[in-house]
Structure 1
Amino acid sequence: MLKEYHLFFRRLMICFDLFIVTISFFLSPFLFSDYGDVIQQFGNYFILLPALLSVWGIFLHNFGMYESFRTKNITEVIFPVIETALVGGGLLGSFVFLAKIQTIGSEHLFYSFFMATILLCGEKVSLLFFMQYQRKNGFNTRNILIVGTGKRAQHFINTIGKNVEWGINVIGLIDNDAAKKNTVVCGNKVIGAVKDIPAIIHKTVVDEVMFVVPRSWLNTVEEMIRYLCDIEGLKVSVAVDLFTLNLARTKYSHVTPDTIGKTRSYLSEFPLLVFESAPDKLLQLFIKRLMDIIFSGIALVSLFPVFLIIAIAIKTTSNGPLFFKQKRCSLNGRVFKLYKFRTMVADAEAKRGALLKNNEMQGPVFKMSNDPRVTKIGKFLRKYSIDEFPQFWNVLKGDMSLVGPRPPIPKEVDEYEPWHRRRLSMRPGLTCIWQVSGRNKITNFDEWMRLDLEYIDNWSVWLDFKILFGTVPAVLAGSGAK
């Protein structure tokens, strides 16, 4: 994994662990003392807090908690917590005793370390299972296409193989030597030449293209780098020394082992130039995903009674399933199953061909006012976008976000112009900028795409909030989907 992703995850984990320790320290006295006594002594607890956090932070780090977390098993994430509790608790207890700190008793320290141990172990095990689930479903790995098969590329591939915790999946190699096509280099197949890259990324999910090539190749690959960044919206990394290229947003990074010390001794770092046109604000992207999880979870619980009413209305007014399920494209072309409440007759897809002449949208998307396939209850659901509610489940799973370009069907993506594909560089959403800037009054597909790209180029958490707030009046006004 790129260094900044690992560092961000590690710092986030450390901050959350220390937050748990702090909560445990202030709540544990309620387990053995009266409420009034705890409140009276509450201010004194802050005296020991810095030492407590230092002990937990230092020992968790030294016992290897934050090294290569991705590949750990349950035992390996629990033992560092228990070791820290035993060793750190003993040392801090001795310090309190020798320093004769009267405001903090041994009982308080014991319950504090005990509670923190239980909570931290629960957090680590839950995180471990969550990461394994994400990786199993393709959300915790990055698909990398490597351009180059020389010694430097081979060394890089071997480095990836030795560090599975990076979560990198090499989908194939690229080399302009025709004789190398279909050969295997370091366990990976050469699947084409540089000119074949556009066709490859359209047929396969690729998150990043990495050029590990000789300097003599740079003139020949520059145009491809420009195409991948500015047109396709993919992240591109070039494993070369620093040089000047005016492409997208440029930053200096490097691939580095997650483990500190023993791994670094035999693995050299790879200096990389990273070009990307999609948002790369890690903290804001994390906040965006956190918002997705919290708000979609709340929505699914709070709207459950509404779901039951809608289910009864749909099943009693028309024949067919409750939900409409359809394959859609997510980040970088990943395919997922989107859910909606069914608003059309059961054989709606079979009748679509006869209605194509009435398409009101220019381009590959089909939009039609007064579609005869829509049921009576379906018209109401569509008018107020209620049919979209099941997509909160897609948001919770990570297939979608609350805000983002609307997810296209694979057939539409196949008909995209090259510059349209950059809208796939961000996770699709329930609502986006075009829905609050005219909603379905837009009939020009290119204008729709330009608005999506405008959202991607100017994305921020604050912009998401503004779009969400703008969506509410648009939905209440009844200007819903056609």
Structure 2
Amino acid sequence: MIRWRKRIRRMSYLITDLICLILSFMITQHIYKPIFDRRITLSSLEQTGLILLLTVVFISVFIATSLYEIIMEEDSVFSIRVLSRVVISYVIAVLIMSAIMFLMKISLSRLFFGLLVIDYFITALIGKHMVKEFQCSDLNGTSHCKNILVIGQSLKGKAYIEQIKKYGYLNLNIIGYVHIKEPNNYMGIQHLGGIEDLEEITKLYVIDEIAVAKPLTYDERLADIINRCQEMGITITMILETNNYDTTKAQVAMVGNIPVLKFHTVSLNENQILGKRIIDVYGAMFGMVFFIIAYIVIGPLIKLETPGPVIFKQKRVGKNGRVFEILKFRSMGVNAETQKEALLVSNEMSGYMFKMTNDPRITNTGKFIRKTSIDELPQFWNVLKGDMSLVGTRPPTIDEVKQYEAHHHRRISITPGITGNWQVSGRSDIEDFEQVVSLDTDYISNWTIWTDIKILLKTVFVVFAGKGSK
């Protein structure tokens, strides 16, 4: 219920952004020629395509950065938290658009683009403010609220009530609670009676929905509550008192007409996965430029030093066990894998990963491209294909996964990345595999778009500081 209402609110902001973008484009067009005495060189068809491109980029970034969620949580769009998120979201979107226009050679005046962004920033902010004010004022009258009666008391029930109080603009109103065993103070909510009084209570109060907060046991009393609610035509919500696993998240879904409850440990929802994928594609397209340049420069050096292909291919394990072929610039001799077994005694990692200082298999060119992380550039192609992400956990080899214990498999519950938490946390100094697992699972449990941005920025620092793989 709360999720459905949040989607409606989120959609209203999204539509507002779309309208404001079109409006901003029209306004910028009208002020550009008279003030600066210049014309837009794009045809009507090209302008339409540009608006569509701007819409996709900006809206995708807003979704990926959870901008709409932040706006819904705050009382005002002019709060510091919202404004800072808006500014950063616009910066990201502008950088992506600039890269796309450069790669696609879109002949748009930088002055016009700058004016459009400023105009859109102001117009969209005012638009969101108007939507926010509408949601938080007129619709909060009691006649428009959905009245909820809570049955029973539980820890999850308290959390449910706290969520409703937090998202007050969702037009949900707790009118009171009914006890199942014994009445007591329940978060300051009015006590209306016992379960035996349910029918009488529904006659005295306007009740749109009943939320049952009790342990996950389907006994006769619970069945009776459900039947009585169905008879009266009242919607019923079950608040499940499940185990409190810190890394577990629950999701209700429908398989045909069968309701199911899913428990998962990945913090990304469908919208965030889509937003992350869009950023991956744009980032990989930009990264492919550097890959091509590096191939032209580094390729001949690799071939001159040792015979064999420029690109090294290796089977790696991706999301949930999917096997794919990872690409790298070759930094070792062609028979490096056959020599690995003899070097296992020199492995510096405790666990299932292999790391060795002064690995004799690495060529002189290989040392340079590893130190500068140039060897990773071909993986932008893996990102474009969808096998990898820009940021994620490092994909293990098939042999490593065969040795995994149960909790290690969580590392491969998401799409692997070119860079990640481990790579920017001193990977050359980490010698305990369990520490690597801890860093990866922490990333999985606490993912946000800001986490990815921070890791990408840290990666740039690590590369320029020469702290790449040894």
TM-score between the two structures when normalised by the length of structure 2? 0.50
Once the two structures are superposed, what CA deviation does each residue of 1:281-321 show, in whole Å capped at 9, x if it has no partner? 44433332222111111111244222211111111221011
Q: Could you say which residue in structure 1 is the equivalent of 2:157?
A: none
Does residue 334 of structure 2 align to residue 337 of structure 1?
A: no
2:280–2:390 contact (8 Å) kept in structure 1:
yes
Q: 1:327 to 1:269 in 2, by over 3 A?
A: same
SS of the equivalent of 2:325 reads strand
SS of the equivalent of 2:466 reads coil
Does residue 293 of structure 2 align to residue 293 of structure 1?
A: no
Q: Could you say which residue in structure 1 is the equivalent of 2:159?
A: none
Does residue 233 of structure 2 align to residue 244 of structure 1?
A: no
Once the two structures are superposed, what CA deviation does each residue of 1:100-156 show, in whole Å capped at 9, x if it has no partner? xxxxxxxxxxxxxxxxxxxxxxxxxxxxxxxxxxxxxxxxxxxxxxxxxxxxxxxxx
Find the partner of 1:383 among 367, 371, 379. 371
Q: Aligned partners of 1:419 and 1:255: how far apart in 2?
A: 26
Does residue 454 of structure 2 align to residue 457 of structure 1?
A: no
How far 1:215 moved relative to its partner?
A: 7.0
Q: Unpaired segments of 5 or more residues in structure 1?
A: 41-213, 217-239, 258-266
Q: Aligned partners of 1:373 and 1:253: how far apart in 2?
A: 48
2:249–2:265 contact (8 Å) kept in structure 1:
no
2:319–2:415 contact (8 Å) kept in structure 1:
yes
Q: Aligned partners of 1:422 and 1:395: how far apart in 2?
A: 20
Find the partner of 1:268 among 257, 261, 280. 257
SS of the equivalent of 2:312 reads strand
2:253–2:261 contact (8 Å) kept in structure 1:
no
Once the two structures are superposed, what CA deviation does each residue of 1:363-412 show, in whole Å capped at 9, x if it has no partner? 11111111111111111111111100101111122111111110001211
Q: Aligned partners of 2:441 and 2:251: how far apart in 1?
A: 26
Q: Aligned partners of 1:304 and 1:405: how far apart in 2?
A: 25
1:250–1:273 contact (8 Å) kept in structure 2:
no
SS of the equivalent of 1:339 reads strand
Q: 1:215 to 1:366 in 2, by over 3 A?
A: farther
How far 1:17 moved relative to its partner?
A: 13
The amino acid of 1:373's aligned partner reads R
The amino acid of 1:311's aligned partner reads G
Does residue 387 of structure 2 align to residue 399 of structure 1?
A: yes
Q: Aligned partners of 1:250 and 1:362: how far apart in 2?
A: 28
Does residue 398 of structure 2 align to residue 410 of structure 1?
A: yes
The amino acid of 1:285's aligned partner reads I
Q: Aligned partners of 1:22 and 1:466: how far apart in 2?
A: 28
Q: Aligned partners of 1:430 and 1:418: how far apart in 2?
A: 24
Find the partner of 1:471 among 432, 449, 459. 459
Once the two structures are superposed, what CA deviation does each residue of 1:332-359 show, in whole Å capped at 9, x if it has no partner? 1111110000000011111111111111
Once the two structures are superposed, what CA deviation does each residue of 1:232-257 show, in whole Å capped at 9, x if it has no partner? xxxxxxxx976421144676654448
Does residue 418 of structure 2 align to residue 430 of structure 1?
A: yes
Once the two structures are superposed, what CA deviation does each residue of 1:31-87 show, in whole Å capped at 9, x if it has no partner? xxx9669x99xxxxxxxxxxxxxxxxxxxxxxxxxxxxxxxxxxxxxxxxxxxxxxx
Q: Aligned partners of 1:395 and 1:418: how far apart in 2?
A: 27
Q: Could you say which residue in structure 2 is the equivalent of 1:156?
A: none
RMSD in angstroms over aligned alpha carbons? 3.9
SS of the equivalent of 1:462 reads helix
1:360–1:367 contact (8 Å) kept in structure 2:
yes
Does residue 245 of structure 2 align to residue 278 of structure 1?
A: no
SS of the equivalent of 1:275 reads strand
Q: 1:254 to 1:279 in 2, by over 3 A?
A: closer
Q: Could you say which residue in structure 1 is the equivalent of 2:313?
A: 325
Does residue 343 of structure 2 align to residue 346 of structure 1?
A: no
Alignment of 1:144-223 (within 5 A): none
Does residue 370 of structure 2 align to residue 373 of structure 1?
A: no
Find the partner of 2:433 among 419, 429, 445. 445
SS of the equivalent of 1:435 reads coil
The amino acid of 1:434's aligned partner reads W
Once the two structures are superposed, what CA deviation does each residue of 1:189-218 show, in whole Å capped at 9, x if it has no partner? xxxxxxxxxxxxxxxxxxxxxxxxx979xx
The amino acid of 1:246's aligned partner reads N
The amino acid of 2:284's aligned partner reads S
Q: 1:215 to 1:280 in 2, by over 3 A?
A: farther
1:363–1:445 contact (8 Å) kept in structure 2:
yes
Once the two structures are superposed, what CA deviation does each residue of 1:432-475 show, in whole Å capped at 9, x if it has no partner? 11222222110111111111111112221111111111112212
The amino acid of 1:371's aligned partner reads D
TM-score between the two structures when normalised by the length of structure 1? 0.49
SS of the equivalent of 2:342 reads helix
SS of the equivalent of 1:439 reads coil
